[in-house]
Structure 1
């Protein structure tokens, strides 16, 4: 019985680690997209400012 419980606990721990890794990847992707949008807005803002100067 002990071996079965150990295997079950180990399997559950591995599942939880995989879920945590997936969440971490999703969060990094979210942050990267957010940074890309911010950079895009900055580029557009700079282009408008540049156009207004000339």
Structure 2
């Protein structure tokens, strides 16, 4: 699988894990925020890599 696709899929998986983590903990926490930030960065890097490799 191409690197940019893996990056976007990893970011999406991190977002899903952050939502599950927030539900289990009963609300957002600093860890949830960190996971969301990492997911957004990972997705952004994936989109950037896709544009660069065109």
Q: How does the TM-score come out when normalised to structure 2?
A: 0.48
Q: How does the TM-score come out when normalised to structure 1?
A: 0.48
Q: Which has the higher contact order (CA 8 A, sep 6+)?
A: 2
Structure with greater Cα Rg: 1
